[in-house]
Structure 1
Amino acid sequence: MSWVSRLAAVHGAFWIADRWYRIWWYVWPAALALLISGWIYADKPSWGGDARNALQGEWAKPVTLATPIPIRNSPILANWPEKLQSDVAVCFTRAPDIHPIIDACSRLIDSGEISNSQRSSAYNQRGFLRRVKEPIRALEDVEAALKLMPNVPYALANRAYIYIGQSKFDAAIQDLNKAIEQFPPTASGPAHHLRGLAYFKLGDYQKAQTELDEALRLDPNNPDPLMNRGELEQAQKNNDAALRDFDEYSRRVPRDPRGPIGRATVLEATGHPQEALAALDKALIIDPANLRAAALRDRLRAQRIGTDQSKTGDNSPK
């Protein structure tokens, strides 16, 4: 059998047995034709022969590979100096390692070549990145941002977050009131979430409930308010509602142990220690080093052992 015959036999066997092989044979000629057509289309000259006309819609618009990646659709981040574009792209992005991002923001701040609004944005972004691990330096950055551009809602919300971490709840609410006035309604969900958390910490449960409900209405894809609303409902003894929120949070963020831990605390409070232990086991599978989950599990196990001993009358150590 010639190689052509063997190739035809193999092709026939795959054609009969493999659906994806058949689909591939339909797709690749069309893809090749589209690619060739694209080359012809892109190479077609503009009517006027000049670059401005080429950008006005005649034939294909040229693609400039050096064009910076757009960071955010915000006028504050427009018109940065060309030579700083690479630092802009790094500063206003998200990545697991924040240190290169902080360095890029610092270079923008120290460049001396940007406007006050741009400098304010760089300060605010650096403060946002520092607010968890370096809250004091973060507050300095956000204060600098607000000094340059007062009442910018993102900076106010960042400062409120830091204030909540410092237990300055009234100050946080004042900033969030201003921020929510400045935000478009569709962008104010995170600020309502923070204001709800601040009211919760102050013990004003009714206002906290209203704010957290509003945060979820405005930003339904953000699971964070579910966790705080679950804690709020648990504090009000609304255990069924709390359990629903903790379970929904776990469904959306399955790699966060806080959902199963919240579930465990509700189950313990409602007299279901075995189910609570199962939830804590799940939390520790997610995060074996979680001290809170380990402490709760150890306490529940000790209580169960004590209960079993009291029932059997055996008080000897196990």
Structure 2
Amino acid sequence: MNITARIAALHGALWSIDPWYRWSWYAWPIAMAVLVTGWILMSKPANTGAWGSTGSWAKPIAQKPATSQATPVKTTTINPVDLEVMSCFANRGEASESACTRVIDGGKISGSRLASVYTQRGFMQRDKQPDSAMSDFNAALKIQPDYAAALNDRAWIYMTRGDYDAALQDLNKSVGMPTPWGPAAVAYYYRGFAHLRLKDYAKALTDLNEAIRRQPNSSDYYLARGEAQQAQESYDAALRDFDEFSKRAPKDPRGLLARAVILETTGKPRDALVALESAATLVPDNDFVKSERDRLRGQVNDKDPAKSNPGEPPPT
């Protein structure tokens, strides 16, 4: 992580955990404005140009020699626990995970702050250590049962295990609370995805529409909604969503693959082949993409007399 990203991460962590830090960001612009105003009034530069001659206010002020040392400026120090919390949320891999563990084991924070640290550590572990992540989400929810981020992340693990009913229980709680805009969008997306896998396409579309309304630039939301529309045979709407996904994630071949499936299903194999050729350029080493492209190439060529028999004119 570069220095700019690290500073941004530290600022975000401080903003969320330290009210005095937030207050200082409101206070310092006012203090600076007062300081600059005073400087302008006390030491205005001489005006000798087209606007007139120098006035008495432009004369330099005589400076007295310093007779005493300046009073040291008091600085606010960050206690070690807050530094560990900041490191926990800095997203530096194992270093951040270890920092979260030190905060938890230290026993010096409680309440919502402790729940957030448990959730952060669980989030970092959920791919490689889902059981440990689940334990952390359970611990966070034991401390704060209405913590939306922990509910969403626990539901994600349930869905990776195919337990969509358990996921829906958590997600129903999450969307039913006055959840912040971002976590609420994730909850609607996850719940829509769960309904999709349970083949309840009407409910899936309702939730995915809400997720997109709240976070219209999240590419995966369009992919899921396109899949729900495809299942209902709303092929034009599905194609629009798959194209929106590809627009927002141009290096991800999934939108092109989904597009190819619909085009082949609706009797447009040549257009489907174009989508597969484009997908193959994005992932040239993907065996599935290559096999699908080659299969469709064969079908298109077999149906094209000019290509299958290049020495003979096509039948009339």
Both structures adopt the same fold (TM-score exceeding 0.5) = yes
Partners of 2:99 and 2:180 in 1: CA distance: 31
| Corresponding position of 1:179 | 174
TM-superposed CA distance for 1:94, in Å, is 4.2
What is the correspondence of 1:292-311 to structure 2 with a 5 Å cutoff? 292-304=288-300, 307=303
Amino acid at match of 2:128: K
1:166–1:111 distance in 2 versus 1, CA, 3 Å: same
Q: Partner of 2:105 in structure 1? A: 110
Consecutive unaligned residues of structure 2, counting only runs of 5 or more, are: 1-6, 22-77, 310-316
Kindly tell me: are residues 159 and 107 of structure 1, through their superposed partners in 2, closer, same or farther at Cα, counting changes over 3 Å?
A: same
Q: Which residue of 1 aligns with 2:219?
A: 223
Distance 1:92 1:241, change over 3 A: same
CA contact (8 A) 2:188 2:210 kept: yes
In the aligned structure 1, how far is the partner of 2:264 from the partner of 2:195? Answer: 26
Structure 1 residue runs of 5 or longer lacking an equivalent are 1-64, 314-318
1:140-163 deviation per Cα after TM superposition (whole angstroms, max 9, x unaligned): 221121122222111011111111
**Partner of 2:34 in structure 1?**
none
Structure-2 change in CA distance of 1:127 and 1:278 (3 Å) = same
In structure 2, the CA distance between the partners of 1:72 and 1:211, relative to structure 1 (3 Å rule), is farther
Kindly report the root-mean-square deviation, in angstroms, between the aligned alpha carbons of the 2 structures: 2.9
Asked whether the equivalents of residues 153 and 183 of structure 1 are also in contact (C-alpha less than 8 Å), the reply is no
- In 1, are the aligned partners of 2:301 and 2:308 still within 8 Å (CA)? no
Residues 166/301 of structure 1: CA separation in 2 closer, same or farther (3 Å cut)? same
| CA–CA separation in structure 1 for the residues paired with 2:270 and 2:220 | 27
CA–CA distance in structure 1, aligned partners of residues 216 and 139 of structure 2 = 32
Query: In the alignment, which residue of structure 1 is the partner of 2:157?
Result: 162
- The whole-number CA distance in structure 2 between the counterparts of 1:100 and 1:275 is 48
Whether the 8 Å CA contact 2:174–2:187 is kept in 1: the answer is yes
| Distance change >3 Å, CA 87–CA 203, structure 1 → 2 | same
Q: Cα distance, 1:296 vs. partner?
A: 2.3
Aligned-residue offset at 1:126: 1.5
CA distance in 1, matches of 2:103, 2:214: 33
Change beyond 3 A, Cα 1:243–1:159 = same
Do residues 131 (structure 1) and 131 (structure 2) align?
Answer: no
User: Which residue of 46, 69, 93 corresponds with 2:11?
Assistant: 69
Percent of residue pairs identical = 43
Q: Shift in Å at residue 87 of structure 1? A: 3.1
Q: Could you tell me whether the CA contact under 8 Å between 2:212 and 2:218 is conserved in 1?
A: yes
Change (3 A) 1:191 1:73: farther
- Please name the residue that 1:278 is paired with: 274
1:54 aligned residue: none
Letter in 2 for 1:263: R
| Higher relative contact order, chain-length normalized (CA < 8 Å, sep 6+) | 2
After superposition, the C-alpha distances for 1:243-293 in whole angstroms (9 at most, x for unaligned) are 100111111111212121111111121222222222222223222343442
Question: Structure 1 residues 72 and 250, CA, compared in 2 at 3 Å: closer, same or farther?
Answer: farther
- TM-score scaled by structure 2? 0.68
Quick one: which amino acid aligns to residue 156 of structure 1? L
Change (3 A) 1:77 1:238: farther
- TM-fit CA distance, 1:134: 2.8
Length, aligned pairs only: 244
CA deviations on 1:87-120 (whole Å, 9 max, x unpaired) are 322322446xx33332222222222322243222
User: Cα gap change, 1:307/1:133 in structure 2, threshold over 3 Å: closer, same or farther?
Assistant: farther
1:1-318 map, 5 Å: 69-71=11-13, 73-74=15-16, 82-94=79-91, 98-184=93-179, 186-187=181-182, 188-304=184-300, 307=303
